Amino acid sequence: MMDWKKALKAHVAGKPTRSEEEKRAEETQLFTELYCQWKGVQPNRQVGTNSSQQHQSFKSIPKFYFKLPAEDEVLQQKLREESRAVFLQRRSRQLLDNDELQGLWFLLDKHHTPPLMGDEKMINYEDFLKVSAEAGPKCKTYFTATVFAKLLQKDPYGRISIMQFFNYVMRKVWLHQTRIGLSLYDVAGQGYLKEADLENYILELIPTLPQLDGLEKSFYSFYVCTAVRKFFFFLDPLRTGRIKIQDILACSFLDDLLELRDEDLSKEMQESNWFSAPSALRVYGQYLNLDKDHNGMLSKEELSRYGTGTLTPVFLNRVFQECLTYDGEMDYKTYLDFVLAMENRKEPQALQYIFRLLDIQNRSYLNIFALNTFFRAIQEQMKIHGQEPVSFEDVKDEIFDMVKPADPLKITLQDLINSGQGETVTNILIDLNGFWTYENREVLVQENPADDLENFGEGEEV
Distance between CA atoms of residues 251 and 247, nearest Å: 6
- pLDDT given for residue 18 in this prediction: 74
Length of the chain: 462
Does residue 298 carry a pLDDT above 80?
A: yes
**So what's the pLDDT on residue 453?**
47
Q: What is the mean pLDDT of residues 375-388?
A: 91
Write the burial class of residue 181 (CB in 10 Å: 0-12 exposed, 13-18 middle, 19+ buried).
middle
Does the structure show a pLDDT above 60 at 163? yes
Cis upstream peptide for 115 (omega within 30°): yes
Q: Are 311 and 298 in contact (CB under 8 A)?
A: no
pLDDT of residue 447: 60
**pLDDT for the residue 462:** 31
**Biggest distance spanned by C-alpha atoms of the chain:** 112
Residue 8 has pLDDT above 80, yes or no: no
Following DSSP, what letter does each residue of 35-53 receive, concatenated?
HHHHHTS-TTS-TT--GGG
Contact, 276 vs 219, CB < 8 A?
no
Q: What is the mean pLDDT of residues 329-353?
A: 96
pLDDT for residue 448: 58
Residue 199 CA to residue 197 CA, distance in Å, equals 5
Choose between 443 and 325: higher pLDDT: 325
What confidence category does residue 69 fall into, taking pLDDT thresholds of 50, 70 and 90? confident
Rounded CA gap, 214 and 218, in Å? Answer: 12
pLDDT, position 73 = 84
pLDDT at 51 over 50: no
CA proximity to 155, closest of 203, 118, 127, 104:
118
| The pLDDT of residue 425 is above 90 | yes
Q: To the nearest whole percent, how much of the chain has pLDDT over 90?
A: 69
Of 222-231, 263-272, 453-462, least confident by mean pLDDT is 453-462
Is pLDDT at 439 greater than 70 in this prediction? yes
Res. 371: pLDDT tops 60? yes
Instruction: Out of 85-94, 337-346, 357-366, 443-452, pick the least confident.
Output: 443-452
Helix axis angle, 392-403 to 422-430, nearest 10°: 160
pLDDT, position 5 = 74
| Per-residue model confidence (pLDDT) at position 212 | 94
Which range among 42-46, 107-111, 140-144, 260-264 shows the weakest confidence by mean pLDDT?
Answer: 42-46
What is the share, in percent, of the chain residues with pLDDT greater than 70? 89
Reported as a pLDDT band with limits 50, 70 and 90, residue 363 is very high
With residues binned 3-state (H G I as helix, E B as strand, rest as coil), the percentages for the chain, rounded to 5, are 65, 5, 30
Q: Tell me the pLDDT tens digit for each residue of 73-108.
A: 888 888 888 888 899 999 999 999 999 999 999 999
**Closest among 448, 455, 453 to 433, alpha carbons compared:** 453
What does the pLDDT average to over 27-55? 65
Q: Which strand (E) or helix (H) includes residue 192? A: strand 192-194
Of 383, 387, 375, the residue nearest 430 (C-alpha): 375
Strand partners, 208: none
- Is residue 316 within 8 A of residue 300, CB to CB? The reply is yes
> Residue 323 has what DSSP assignment?
S
The sign of the torsion formed by the CA atoms of 8, 10, 13, 16 equals negative
* Across 46-68, average pLDDT: 64
Integer Cα distance of 237 and 251 in angstroms: 14
Give the whole-angstrom CA distance, residue 355 versus residue 199: 28
Query: Where is pLDDT greater, at 22 or 253?
Result: 253
Give pLDDT, residue 1.
Answer: 52
Q: Is the pLDDT confidence value at 46 over 70?
A: no
Residue 47: per-residue pLDDT: 45
d(CA 201, CA 131): 37
pLDDT of 23 reads: 82
> What is the pLDDT averaged over residues 401-410?
94
Is residue 240 predicted with pLDDT exceeding 80?
Answer: yes
* 287 conformational bin, left if phi > 0, alpha if psi -120 to 50, beta if neither: alpha
According to the model, what pLDDT value does residue 293 have? Answer: 94
Cα→Cα distances 238→197, 266, 335, 352, 385, Å = 18, 35, 18, 10, 39
Give mean pLDDT, residues 423-435.
Answer: 94
Q: Torsion angle of alpha carbons 89, 91, 94, 95, nearest 10°? A: -100
Out of 22-26, 142-146, 225-229, 427-431, least confident range: 22-26
The pLDDT value recorded for residue 233 is 97
Residue 349 in contact with residue 234, Cβ under 8 Å?
Answer: yes
What is the mean pLDDT of the segment spanning 26-53?
66
User: Which of 56-60, 140-144, 177-181, 270-274 has the least mean pLDDT?
Assistant: 56-60
Q: Does pLDDT of 179 surpass 60?
A: yes
Nearest alpha carbon to residue 222 among 202, 192, 242: 202
Whether 457 shows a pLDDT value over 70: the answer reads: no
Tell me the CA distances in angstroms from 289 to 229, 295, 307, 407, one per residue in order.
Answer: 20, 12, 11, 44
* pLDDT of 172: 94
Query: What's the burial of 30, exposed, middle or buried (CB within 10 Å: 0-12/13-18/19+)?
Result: exposed
Q: How far from 65 is each of 82, 187, 191, CA to CA, in Å?
A: 20, 19, 16
pLDDT of residue 328: 92
CA dihedral 250, 255, 256, 260 (to 10 degrees): 160
Distance between CA atoms of residues 422 and 426, nearest Å: 6
CA 317 – CA 312 distance, rounded (Å) = 9
Average pLDDT of span 300-308? 94
Average pLDDT taken over every residue of the chain:
88
Q: Do residues 408 and 288 lie in contact, with contact meaning Cβ atoms separated by under 8 Å? A: no
Report whether pLDDT(446) > 80: no
Nearest one of 274, 159, 250, 258 to 205, comparing CA atoms: 258
pLDDT tens readout for residues 140-160: 999 999 999 999 988 899 999
Handedness of CA 342, 346, 352, 356 (dihedral sign): positive
For residues 211 and 277, the answer to whether their CB atoms sit within 8 Å is: yes
